[in-house]
Structure 1
Amino acid sequence: MKSPIRIVLAGGCALGLLSAPAAAWAEQPAAAAPKPAATAKPTAKPTAKPKPVDCTKVKCIALTFDDGPGKYADKLLATLKKHDAKATFFLEGQYVKSRPKLAKQIVDAGHDIGNHSYSHPKFTETSIDEIREELQKTQDIVKKVTGRYPTTIRPPYGLLDDDTKTVAAEMKMPIILWNGGSRDWATRNEKAIYDEVLKNAKRDGVILMHDWVAQTVTVMPKLLTELKKQGYHLVAVSSLPGAKALKPAEVFPVSAAADKDLSTDSPTGDPDDFAESPADDS
Protein backbone atom coordinates (compact mmCIF):
# COMPACT_ATOMS: atom_id res chain seq x y z
CA MET A 1 0.00 0.00 0.00
CA LYS A 2 1.31 3.29 -1.04
CA SER A 3 2.03 5.92 1.53
CA PRO A 4 -0.53 8.77 1.61
CA ILE A 5 2.32 11.30 1.48
CA ARG A 6 3.61 9.87 -1.79
CA ILE A 7 0.15 10.05 -3.32
CA VAL A 8 -0.20 13.69 -2.40
CA LEU A 9 3.24 14.49 -3.80
CA ALA A 10 2.55 12.58 -6.95
CA GLY A 11 -0.75 14.40 -7.38
CA GLY A 12 0.94 17.76 -6.87
CA CYS A 13 3.60 16.98 -9.48
CA ALA A 14 0.94 15.92 -11.94
CA LEU A 15 -0.97 19.13 -11.42
CA GLY A 16 2.22 21.12 -11.90
CA LEU A 17 2.97 19.37 -15.18
CA LEU A 18 -0.54 20.13 -16.43
CA SER A 19 -0.53 23.79 -15.43
CA ALA A 20 3.03 24.77 -16.37
CA PRO A 21 2.67 24.53 -20.15
CA ALA A 22 -0.57 26.52 -20.05
CA ALA A 23 1.20 29.35 -18.26
CA ALA A 24 4.06 29.23 -20.73
CA TRP A 25 1.75 29.47 -23.78
CA ALA A 26 -0.06 32.39 -22.22
CA GLU A 27 3.19 34.32 -21.90
CA GLN A 28 4.06 34.00 -25.64
CA PRO A 29 2.86 36.96 -27.81
CA ALA A 30 0.35 36.17 -30.54
CA ALA A 31 1.99 35.58 -33.89
CA ALA A 32 1.55 38.55 -36.23
CA ALA A 33 -0.64 37.90 -39.25
CA PRO A 34 1.50 37.57 -42.42
CA LYS A 35 1.44 40.68 -44.65
CA PRO A 36 0.03 40.11 -48.10
CA ALA A 37 2.66 40.11 -50.78
CA ALA A 38 2.86 43.42 -52.61
CA THR A 39 1.31 43.26 -56.04
CA ALA A 40 3.64 44.60 -58.68
CA LYS A 41 2.11 47.44 -60.66
CA PRO A 42 1.85 46.64 -64.35
CA THR A 43 4.34 48.59 -66.39
CA ALA A 44 2.58 50.85 -68.85
CA LYS A 45 3.56 50.04 -72.38
CA PRO A 46 4.63 53.06 -74.41
CA THR A 47 2.09 53.99 -77.04
CA ALA A 48 3.48 53.02 -80.39
CA LYS A 49 3.40 55.79 -82.98
CA PRO A 50 1.46 54.82 -86.07
CA LYS A 51 3.68 53.97 -88.99
CA PRO A 52 3.55 56.46 -91.85
CA VAL A 53 1.44 55.36 -94.77
CA ASP A 54 3.47 54.23 -97.79
CA CYS A 55 1.37 55.43 -100.72
CA THR A 56 3.59 53.56 -103.17
CA LYS A 57 2.17 50.36 -101.70
CA VAL A 58 -1.38 51.33 -100.76
CA LYS A 59 -4.20 53.37 -102.30
CA CYS A 60 -4.10 56.99 -101.08
CA ILE A 61 -6.07 60.18 -101.57
CA ALA A 62 -5.49 63.69 -100.20
CA LEU A 63 -8.35 65.93 -99.10
CA THR A 64 -7.38 69.61 -99.07
CA PHE A 65 -9.29 72.51 -97.49
CA ASP A 66 -8.92 76.09 -98.74
CA ASP A 67 -9.56 79.49 -97.14
CA GLY A 68 -9.01 78.24 -93.61
CA PRO A 69 -9.18 78.03 -90.83
CA GLY A 70 -12.91 78.06 -91.47
CA LYS A 71 -15.40 78.64 -88.70
CA TYR A 72 -16.24 74.90 -88.57
CA ALA A 73 -12.64 73.68 -88.53
CA ASP A 74 -12.83 72.33 -84.98
CA LYS A 75 -15.68 69.98 -85.88
CA LEU A 76 -13.82 68.88 -89.00
CA LEU A 77 -10.66 68.19 -87.00
CA ALA A 78 -12.62 66.01 -84.57
CA THR A 79 -14.01 63.98 -87.46
CA LEU A 80 -10.60 63.54 -89.08
CA LYS A 81 -9.15 62.36 -85.77
CA LYS A 82 -11.97 59.86 -85.23
CA HIS A 83 -11.33 58.36 -88.68
CA ASP A 84 -7.53 58.45 -88.33
CA ALA A 85 -7.33 60.68 -91.40
CA LYS A 86 -4.82 63.38 -92.29
CA ALA A 87 -5.50 66.36 -94.53
CA THR A 88 -3.90 69.53 -95.89
CA PHE A 89 -5.16 72.99 -94.95
CA PHE A 90 -4.34 75.97 -97.16
CA LEU A 91 -4.60 78.88 -94.75
CA GLU A 92 -5.50 82.49 -95.40
CA GLY A 93 -3.57 84.93 -93.26
CA GLN A 94 -6.64 87.04 -92.45
CA TYR A 95 -8.42 84.02 -90.94
CA VAL A 96 -5.36 82.78 -89.09
CA LYS A 97 -5.33 86.22 -87.48
CA SER A 98 -9.05 86.11 -86.55
CA ARG A 99 -9.12 82.39 -85.59
CA PRO A 100 -5.69 81.69 -84.11
CA LYS A 101 -6.86 78.84 -81.85
CA LEU A 102 -8.23 76.90 -84.81
CA ALA A 103 -5.01 77.40 -86.77
CA LYS A 104 -3.01 76.10 -83.81
CA GLN A 105 -5.32 73.08 -83.48
CA ILE A 106 -4.73 72.19 -87.14
CA VAL A 107 -0.97 72.17 -86.67
CA ASP A 108 -1.10 70.39 -83.30
CA ALA A 109 -3.19 67.62 -84.87
CA GLY A 110 -0.38 66.90 -87.34
CA HIS A 111 -2.00 68.07 -90.56
CA ASP A 112 -0.12 69.73 -93.42
CA ILE A 113 -0.47 73.49 -93.82
CA GLY A 114 0.00 75.59 -96.93
CA ASN A 115 -0.07 79.30 -97.80
CA HIS A 116 -3.24 80.49 -99.55
CA SER A 117 -2.44 84.22 -99.48
CA TYR A 118 -3.53 86.77 -96.90
CA SER A 119 -6.70 88.23 -98.44
CA HIS A 120 -7.43 85.93 -101.43
CA PRO A 121 -6.76 88.18 -104.44
CA LYS A 122 -6.40 86.89 -107.99
CA PHE A 123 -2.63 86.62 -108.45
CA THR A 124 -3.02 86.89 -112.24
CA GLU A 125 -4.38 90.41 -111.70
CA THR A 126 -1.90 91.35 -108.96
CA SER A 127 1.60 92.82 -109.23
CA ILE A 128 4.56 90.67 -108.30
CA ASP A 129 5.26 92.90 -105.30
CA GLU A 130 1.72 92.43 -104.04
CA ILE A 131 1.94 88.66 -104.54
CA ARG A 132 5.15 88.63 -102.54
CA GLU A 133 3.54 90.72 -99.76
CA GLU A 134 0.40 88.53 -99.64
CA LEU A 135 2.43 85.34 -99.25
CA GLN A 136 5.06 86.70 -96.85
CA LYS A 137 2.46 88.30 -94.60
CA THR A 138 0.73 84.94 -94.32
CA GLN A 139 3.99 83.13 -93.63
CA ASP A 140 4.67 85.51 -90.75
CA ILE A 141 1.23 85.29 -89.09
CA VAL A 142 1.05 81.49 -89.40
CA LYS A 143 4.50 81.12 -87.83
CA LYS A 144 3.57 83.50 -85.02
CA VAL A 145 0.31 81.69 -84.23
CA THR A 146 1.26 78.04 -84.78
CA GLY A 147 5.03 77.92 -84.46
CA ARG A 148 5.36 76.55 -87.98
CA TYR A 149 5.74 78.01 -91.44
CA PRO A 150 3.57 76.79 -94.31
CA THR A 151 5.72 74.75 -96.69
CA THR A 152 3.64 74.99 -99.88
CA ILE A 153 1.64 77.58 -101.82
CA ARG A 154 -1.82 77.31 -103.34
CA PRO A 155 -2.67 80.47 -105.27
CA PRO A 156 -6.25 81.71 -104.79
CA TYR A 157 -8.70 80.23 -107.32
CA GLY A 158 -5.82 78.08 -108.62
CA LEU A 159 -4.83 80.97 -110.90
CA LEU A 160 -1.16 80.65 -111.76
CA ASP A 161 1.23 82.81 -113.76
CA ASP A 162 4.96 83.44 -114.12
CA ASP A 163 5.01 86.09 -111.37
CA THR A 164 3.55 83.57 -108.90
CA LYS A 165 6.18 81.01 -109.89
CA THR A 166 8.93 83.61 -109.49
CA VAL A 167 7.84 84.43 -105.93
CA ALA A 168 7.42 80.74 -105.11
CA ALA A 169 10.99 80.14 -106.28
CA GLU A 170 12.24 83.02 -104.13
CA MET A 171 10.45 81.57 -101.09
CA LYS A 172 11.67 78.04 -101.94
CA MET A 173 8.13 76.64 -101.91
CA PRO A 174 6.37 74.31 -104.36
CA ILE A 175 2.88 75.04 -105.69
CA ILE A 176 0.02 72.65 -104.90
CA LEU A 177 -3.11 72.62 -107.06
CA TRP A 178 -5.63 69.76 -107.34
CA ASN A 179 -7.00 67.22 -109.80
CA GLY A 180 -10.49 66.76 -108.40
CA GLY A 181 -13.07 69.01 -106.77
CA SER A 182 -16.16 68.92 -104.58
CA ARG A 183 -17.91 72.10 -105.73
CA ASP A 184 -19.03 72.46 -102.14
CA TRP A 185 -18.91 76.25 -102.36
CA ALA A 186 -21.44 76.17 -105.21
CA THR A 187 -23.94 73.49 -104.20
CA ARG A 188 -23.95 73.75 -100.39
CA ASN A 189 -25.67 70.35 -100.53
CA GLU A 190 -24.44 67.28 -98.64
CA LYS A 191 -25.45 64.70 -101.25
CA ALA A 192 -24.05 66.77 -104.10
CA ILE A 193 -20.72 67.20 -102.29
CA TYR A 194 -20.59 63.48 -101.44
CA ASP A 195 -21.33 62.44 -105.02
CA GLU A 196 -18.88 64.93 -106.56
CA VAL A 197 -15.97 63.82 -104.38
CA LEU A 198 -16.59 60.13 -105.04
CA LYS A 199 -16.88 60.84 -108.77
CA ASN A 200 -13.47 62.55 -108.74
CA ALA A 201 -11.77 60.20 -106.30
CA LYS A 202 -8.77 58.33 -107.69
CA ARG A 203 -5.53 56.92 -106.40
CA ASP A 204 -3.08 59.69 -105.39
CA GLY A 205 -5.74 62.27 -106.14
CA VAL A 206 -5.81 65.76 -104.59
CA ILE A 207 -9.37 66.92 -103.83
CA LEU A 208 -10.33 70.58 -103.34
CA MET A 209 -12.77 71.33 -100.50
CA HIS A 210 -13.53 74.15 -98.06
CA ASP A 211 -13.78 73.92 -94.28
CA TRP A 212 -16.03 76.96 -94.12
CA VAL A 213 -18.83 75.16 -95.96
CA ALA A 214 -21.06 73.70 -93.24
CA GLN A 215 -22.39 70.92 -95.48
CA THR A 216 -18.84 69.74 -96.23
CA VAL A 217 -18.09 69.33 -92.55
CA THR A 218 -21.45 67.66 -91.87
CA VAL A 219 -21.09 65.06 -94.65
CA MET A 220 -17.45 64.32 -93.84
CA PRO A 221 -18.04 61.28 -91.55
CA LYS A 222 -20.11 59.56 -94.25
CA LEU A 223 -17.60 60.51 -96.95
CA LEU A 224 -14.57 59.27 -95.03
CA THR A 225 -16.33 56.02 -94.23
CA GLU A 226 -17.07 55.39 -97.91
CA LEU A 227 -13.57 56.34 -99.09
CA LYS A 228 -12.03 53.95 -96.56
CA LYS A 229 -14.51 51.27 -97.63
CA GLN A 230 -13.20 51.72 -101.19
CA GLY A 231 -9.69 51.09 -99.91
CA TYR A 232 -8.37 54.64 -99.67
CA HIS A 233 -5.96 55.87 -97.01
CA LEU A 234 -6.66 59.52 -96.18
CA VAL A 235 -3.30 61.32 -96.18
CA ALA A 236 -1.77 64.78 -96.39
CA VAL A 237 -0.45 65.89 -99.77
CA SER A 238 3.13 65.46 -98.56
CA SER A 239 2.56 61.69 -98.30
CA LEU A 240 1.63 61.25 -101.95
CA PRO A 241 4.20 59.80 -104.37
CA GLY A 242 6.04 62.59 -106.12
CA ALA A 243 5.18 65.22 -103.52
CA LYS A 244 8.09 64.65 -101.14
CA ALA A 245 10.84 65.73 -103.55
CA LEU A 246 9.14 68.79 -105.05
CA LYS A 247 11.43 71.66 -105.99
CA PRO A 248 10.65 75.37 -105.42
CA ALA A 249 7.96 76.66 -107.81
CA GLU A 250 7.30 73.13 -109.11
CA VAL A 251 3.60 72.41 -109.61
CA PHE A 252 1.85 69.35 -108.16
CA PRO A 253 -0.06 67.35 -109.30
CA VAL A 254 1.99 67.44 -112.47
CA SER A 255 -1.01 67.52 -114.81
CA ALA A 256 -2.86 70.20 -112.85
CA ALA A 257 -1.14 73.24 -114.36
CA ALA A 258 -2.31 72.25 -117.84
CA ASP A 259 -5.84 71.37 -116.79
CA LYS A 260 -8.19 73.90 -118.42
CA ASP A 261 -11.12 72.65 -116.34
CA LEU A 262 -9.33 73.25 -113.05
CA SER A 263 -10.95 76.62 -112.43
CA THR A 264 -14.44 75.13 -112.56
CA ASP A 265 -13.72 73.42 -109.22
CA SER A 266 -12.97 76.73 -107.51
CA PRO A 267 -14.98 79.93 -106.97
CA THR A 268 -14.19 82.48 -109.66
CA GLY A 269 -14.22 85.42 -107.31
CA ASP A 270 -17.49 86.84 -108.60
CA PRO A 271 -19.81 88.05 -105.80
CA ASP A 272 -22.46 85.48 -106.70
CA ASP A 273 -19.98 82.66 -106.05
CA PHE A 274 -19.87 83.30 -102.29
CA ALA A 275 -16.16 82.55 -102.50
CA GLU A 276 -15.19 84.09 -99.20
CA SER A 277 -15.07 82.25 -95.92
CA PRO A 278 -17.79 83.80 -93.71
CA ALA A 279 -16.87 85.74 -90.61
CA ASP A 280 -17.60 84.26 -87.20
CA ASP A 281 -20.66 86.45 -86.67
CA SER A 282 -22.27 85.62 -90.03
Structure 2
Amino acid sequence: MRIRRSLAQPAVAAMSVAATLNLGSTPVQAAVPVPAAVCTGYVGLTFDDGPSANTAALLGALTRNGLRATMFNQGQYAAANPSQVRAQVSAGMWVGNHSYTHPHLTQLSQAAIDSEIYRTQQAVASAGGGTPRLFRPPYGETNPTVKTVAAKYGLTQIIWDVDSQDWNGAGADAIVQAAGRLTGGQIILMHDWSANTLAAIPRIAQGLAARGLCAGMISAQTGRAVAPGSG
Protein backbone atom coordinates (compact mmCIF):
# COMPACT_ATOMS: atom_id res chain seq x y z
CA MET A 1 0.00 0.00 0.00
CA ARG A 2 1.20 3.48 -0.84
CA ILE A 3 0.25 6.37 1.44
CA ARG A 4 0.57 10.18 1.81
CA ARG A 5 1.32 10.77 -0.27
CA SER A 6 -13.66 16.26 -1.37
CA LEU A 7 -30.25 17.91 -6.66
CA ALA A 8 -29.90 21.19 -8.06
CA GLN A 9 -28.12 20.36 -11.26
CA PRO A 10 -28.13 16.72 -12.36
CA ALA A 11 -25.07 15.21 -13.98
CA VAL A 12 -25.19 14.94 -17.74
CA ALA A 13 -24.55 11.53 -19.24
CA ALA A 14 -21.06 11.17 -20.68
CA MET A 15 -20.63 11.42 -24.43
CA SER A 16 -17.50 11.09 -26.56
CA VAL A 17 -15.92 13.80 -28.67
CA ALA A 18 -12.49 14.10 -30.23
CA ALA A 19 -10.26 16.46 -28.32
CA THR A 20 -6.60 17.22 -27.74
CA LEU A 21 -5.23 16.85 -24.23
CA ASN A 22 -2.85 19.73 -23.57
CA LEU A 23 -2.02 20.26 -19.92
CA GLY A 24 -1.49 17.05 -17.96
CA SER A 25 0.81 15.80 -20.70
CA THR A 26 1.88 16.81 -24.16
CA PRO A 27 -0.89 16.67 -26.81
CA VAL A 28 -2.40 13.25 -27.42
CA GLN A 29 -5.56 12.66 -29.42
CA ALA A 30 -8.30 10.96 -27.39
CA ALA A 31 -12.02 10.50 -27.06
CA VAL A 32 -13.14 12.48 -24.03
CA PRO A 33 -16.47 12.75 -22.20
CA VAL A 34 -18.48 15.94 -22.48
CA PRO A 35 -18.60 17.70 -19.08
CA ALA A 36 -21.75 18.54 -17.14
CA ALA A 37 -23.89 21.29 -18.66
CA VAL A 38 -23.38 23.89 -15.92
CA CYS A 39 -20.02 24.34 -14.18
CA THR A 40 -19.58 27.08 -11.60
CA GLY A 41 -16.14 25.74 -10.70
CA TYR A 42 -13.68 22.94 -11.39
CA VAL A 43 -11.96 20.46 -9.10
CA GLY A 44 -9.07 18.09 -9.71
CA LEU A 45 -9.69 14.38 -9.19
CA THR A 46 -6.37 12.57 -8.94
CA PHE A 47 -5.52 8.88 -8.73
CA ASP A 48 -2.05 7.74 -7.70
CA ASP A 49 -0.10 4.50 -8.17
CA GLY A 50 -1.49 3.18 -11.44
CA PRO A 51 -1.82 1.67 -13.81
CA SER A 52 -2.97 -1.48 -12.05
CA ALA A 53 -5.35 -4.40 -12.41
CA ASN A 54 -8.05 -2.00 -11.19
CA THR A 55 -7.43 0.63 -13.87
CA ALA A 56 -9.94 -0.65 -16.42
CA ALA A 57 -12.75 -0.70 -13.86
CA LEU A 58 -11.80 2.76 -12.61
CA LEU A 59 -11.76 4.22 -16.10
CA GLY A 60 -15.14 2.65 -16.79
CA ALA A 61 -16.66 4.17 -13.66
CA LEU A 62 -15.20 7.61 -14.39
CA THR A 63 -16.39 7.57 -18.00
CA ARG A 64 -19.90 6.36 -17.14
CA ASN A 65 -20.22 9.23 -14.69
CA GLY A 66 -18.85 11.91 -17.00
CA LEU A 67 -15.70 12.48 -14.95
CA ARG A 68 -12.15 13.15 -16.01
CA ALA A 69 -9.12 12.83 -13.77
CA THR A 70 -5.35 13.07 -13.58
CA MET A 71 -3.66 9.71 -13.22
CA PHE A 72 -0.33 9.98 -11.44
CA ASN A 73 1.33 6.83 -12.70
CA GLN A 74 4.36 5.06 -11.33
CA GLY A 75 6.92 4.56 -14.06
CA GLN A 76 7.48 0.90 -13.26
CA TYR A 77 3.77 0.18 -13.72
CA ALA A 78 3.50 2.28 -16.87
CA ALA A 79 6.38 0.29 -18.36
CA ALA A 80 4.75 -3.01 -17.38
CA ASN A 81 1.22 -2.04 -18.48
CA PRO A 82 1.47 0.23 -21.54
CA SER A 83 -2.00 -0.75 -22.77
CA GLN A 84 -3.49 0.63 -19.56
CA VAL A 85 -1.67 3.93 -20.05
CA ARG A 86 -3.14 4.15 -23.54
CA ALA A 87 -6.55 3.30 -22.08
CA GLN A 88 -6.23 6.19 -19.62
CA VAL A 89 -5.60 8.60 -22.47
CA SER A 90 -8.36 7.11 -24.63
CA ALA A 91 -10.80 7.59 -21.74
CA GLY A 92 -9.94 11.31 -21.63
CA MET A 93 -7.70 11.27 -18.58
CA TRP A 94 -4.46 13.19 -18.09
CA VAL A 95 -1.30 11.31 -17.18
CA GLY A 96 1.18 12.59 -14.62
CA ASN A 97 4.51 11.46 -13.15
CA HIS A 98 4.53 9.76 -9.72
CA SER A 99 8.19 8.59 -9.73
CA TYR A 100 9.40 5.21 -10.95
CA THR A 101 9.43 3.08 -7.79
CA HIS A 102 7.63 5.31 -5.24
CA PRO A 103 10.55 5.93 -2.87
CA HIS A 104 10.93 8.60 -0.21
CA LEU A 105 12.55 11.07 -2.57
CA THR A 106 13.68 13.43 0.18
CA GLN A 107 15.98 10.67 1.44
CA LEU A 108 17.70 10.18 -1.92
CA SER A 109 20.61 11.87 -3.66
CA GLN A 110 19.92 14.35 -6.43
CA ALA A 111 21.12 11.79 -8.99
CA ALA A 112 18.72 9.16 -7.66
CA ILE A 113 15.84 11.64 -7.68
CA ASP A 114 16.70 12.53 -11.25
CA SER A 115 16.63 8.86 -12.24
CA GLU A 116 13.22 8.32 -10.64
CA ILE A 117 11.67 11.27 -12.45
CA TYR A 118 13.44 10.86 -15.79
CA ARG A 119 12.67 7.14 -16.13
CA THR A 120 9.01 7.80 -15.44
CA GLN A 121 8.89 10.52 -18.10
CA GLN A 122 10.32 8.01 -20.54
CA ALA A 123 8.08 5.13 -19.46
CA VAL A 124 4.87 7.14 -19.75
CA ALA A 125 5.82 8.58 -23.12
CA SER A 126 6.87 5.19 -24.46
CA ALA A 127 3.56 3.71 -23.30
CA GLY A 128 1.59 6.31 -25.26
CA GLY A 129 0.69 8.65 -22.43
CA GLY A 130 2.47 11.71 -23.79
CA THR A 131 5.23 13.47 -21.86
CA PRO A 132 3.88 14.37 -18.39
CA ARG A 133 3.87 17.99 -17.30
CA LEU A 134 2.60 17.31 -13.77
CA PHE A 135 4.52 15.57 -10.98
CA ARG A 136 3.31 14.25 -7.66
CA PRO A 137 6.08 13.27 -5.24
CA PRO A 138 5.41 9.99 -3.41
CA TYR A 139 3.83 10.52 0.02
CA GLY A 140 3.62 14.23 -0.80
CA GLU A 141 7.22 14.53 0.43
CA THR A 142 9.30 17.22 -1.23
CA ASN A 143 12.19 19.60 -0.70
CA PRO A 144 14.13 22.12 -2.83
CA THR A 145 16.16 19.37 -4.51
CA VAL A 146 13.04 17.45 -5.56
CA LYS A 147 11.48 20.65 -6.88
CA THR A 148 14.65 21.53 -8.80
CA VAL A 149 14.83 18.14 -10.49
CA ALA A 150 11.13 18.21 -11.36
CA ALA A 151 11.53 21.65 -12.88
CA LYS A 152 14.46 20.38 -14.96
CA TYR A 153 11.98 18.14 -16.77
CA GLY A 154 9.37 20.86 -17.13
CA LEU A 155 7.20 19.37 -14.41
CA THR A 156 4.89 21.26 -12.07
CA GLN A 157 4.71 19.71 -8.61
CA ILE A 158 1.17 18.87 -7.51
CA ILE A 159 0.22 17.94 -3.95
CA TRP A 160 -3.45 18.03 -2.84
CA ASP A 161 -5.97 20.02 -0.80
CA VAL A 162 -8.14 17.12 0.35
CA ASP A 163 -6.92 13.64 1.31
CA SER A 164 -9.60 10.97 0.74
CA GLN A 165 -7.77 8.65 3.15
CA ASP A 166 -8.52 5.73 0.82
CA TRP A 167 -4.93 4.59 1.37
CA ASN A 168 -5.75 4.34 5.06
CA GLY A 169 -8.80 2.11 4.64
CA ALA A 170 -11.46 4.85 4.42
CA GLY A 171 -14.83 3.45 3.38
CA ALA A 172 -16.82 4.63 0.39
CA ASP A 173 -19.00 6.90 2.55
CA ALA A 174 -15.96 8.66 4.01
CA ILE A 175 -14.42 9.08 0.56
CA VAL A 176 -17.65 10.65 -0.74
CA GLN A 177 -17.67 12.98 2.27
CA ALA A 178 -14.06 13.97 1.58
CA ALA A 179 -14.92 14.84 -2.02
CA GLY A 180 -17.77 16.90 -0.65
CA ARG A 181 -15.23 19.23 0.98
CA LEU A 182 -13.72 20.21 -2.35
CA THR A 183 -14.13 23.79 -3.51
CA GLY A 184 -13.33 25.33 -6.87
CA GLY A 185 -9.71 24.93 -7.92
CA GLN A 186 -8.93 22.31 -5.28
CA ILE A 187 -7.46 18.83 -5.73
CA ILE A 188 -8.30 15.54 -4.00
CA LEU A 189 -5.93 12.61 -3.46
CA MET A 190 -7.27 9.16 -4.34
CA HIS A 191 -5.68 5.91 -5.50
CA ASP A 192 -6.03 3.77 -8.60
CA TRP A 193 -6.11 0.50 -6.65
CA SER A 194 -8.74 1.32 -4.02
CA ALA A 195 -11.95 -0.72 -4.27
CA ASN A 196 -13.70 1.70 -1.90
CA THR A 197 -12.79 4.66 -4.10
CA LEU A 198 -14.12 2.80 -7.14
CA ALA A 199 -17.41 2.24 -5.32
CA ALA A 200 -17.59 5.92 -4.39
CA ILE A 201 -17.27 7.28 -7.94
CA PRO A 202 -21.00 7.55 -8.80
CA ARG A 203 -21.78 9.44 -5.60
CA ILE A 204 -18.74 11.68 -6.02
CA ALA A 205 -20.08 12.63 -9.45
CA GLN A 206 -23.57 13.27 -8.06
CA GLY A 207 -22.22 15.38 -5.22
CA LEU A 208 -20.10 17.53 -7.48
CA ALA A 209 -22.96 18.10 -9.92
CA ALA A 210 -25.29 19.07 -7.08
CA ARG A 211 -22.85 21.85 -6.16
CA GLY A 212 -22.27 22.96 -9.75
CA LEU A 213 -18.71 21.64 -9.75
CA CYS A 214 -17.11 19.77 -12.63
CA ALA A 215 -14.04 17.57 -12.81
CA GLY A 216 -11.36 19.62 -14.53
CA MET A 217 -7.74 19.44 -15.52
CA ILE A 218 -4.84 20.60 -13.38
CA SER A 219 -3.08 23.61 -14.84
CA ALA A 220 0.65 23.22 -15.34
CA GLN A 221 0.88 26.99 -14.92
CA THR A 222 -0.96 27.40 -11.61
CA GLY A 223 -1.19 23.89 -10.16
CA ARG A 224 -4.93 24.40 -9.67
CA ALA A 225 -7.95 22.73 -11.22
CA VAL A 226 -9.30 24.58 -14.25
CA ALA A 227 -11.67 24.00 -17.15
CA PRO A 228 -10.33 21.46 -19.65
CA GLY A 229 -8.50 23.18 -22.46
CA SER A 230 -8.35 26.56 -20.72
CA GLY A 231 -4.55 26.60 -20.64
Question: TM-score under structure 2 normalisation?
Answer: 0.77
State whether residues 47 and 189 of structure 2, in contact with CA within 8 Å, keep that contact through their aligned partners in structure 1: yes
Structure 1 segments of 4+ aligned residues over 3 angstroms from their partners: 47-53
Question: Given residue 191 of structure 1, which amino acid in structure 2 is its aligned partner?
Answer: D
Q: How does 1:111-190 map to 2 (within 5 A)?
A: 111-146=93-128, 148-190=130-172
The 5 A counterparts of 1:56-75 are 58-75=40-57
When residues 177 and 48 of structure 1 are mapped into structure 2, their CA distance, relative to the original with a 3 A threshold, is closer
| Structure (1 or 2) with the larger CA radius of gyration | 1
Mapping 1:25-40, distance limit 5 Å: none
How far residue 73 of structure 1 moved from its aligned partner, in angstroms, is: 1.3
Query: Cα RMSD over matched residues?
Result: 2.1
Mapped to 2, the partners of 1:118 and 1:48 lie a distance apart of 30
Mark the CA change 1:167 to 1:94 in structure 2 (over 3 Å): closer, same or farther.
same
How far has the Cα of 1:158 moved from its partner?
Answer: 0.8
Instruction: Tell me how far apart the structure 2 counterparts of residues 155 and 70 of structure 1 sit (CA, whole Å).
Output: 19
1:223 maps to 204
Identity percentage of aligned residues? 34
Q: Which has the higher helix share?
A: 1
Closer, same or farther in 2 for the Cα pair 1:106/1:83, shift >3 Å?
same
Normalising by structure 1, we get a TM-score of: 0.64
Unaligned runs of 5+ in 2: 1-16, 20-31, 225-231
Partner Cα separation in structure 1 for residue 129 and residue 156 of structure 2: 20
- Residue 139 of structure 1 and its aligned partner are, at CA, apart by 0.9
Q: Deviations over 1:91-119 (max 9, x none)?
A: 10111123222111001222111100000
What is the CA deviation profile of residues 114-153 of structure 1, one whole-angstrom value per residue up to 9, with x for unaligned ones? 1000000111111110000001111111111115111111
**For structure 1, which segment, 118-127 or 73-82, has the greater mean C-alpha deviation from structure 2 after superposition?**
73-82
| 1:229 Cα deviation after fit | 1.6
Deviation per CA, 1:71-93: give whole Å up to 9, x if none.
Answer: 21111111221222111010101
Which residue number in structure 2 is paired with residue 106 of structure 1? 88
Residues 33 and 67 in structure 2, CA contact (< 8 A), matched pair in contact too: no
Larger RCO: 1 or 2 (CA < 8 Å, sep 6+): 2
Tell me the equivalent position of 1:233: 214
Contact 2:133–2:220 (8 Å) recurs in 1: no
Structure with greater strand percent = 2
What do the CA deviations read for 1:210-242 (whole angstroms, capped 9, x no partner)?
0101110112112211211221111121xxxxx
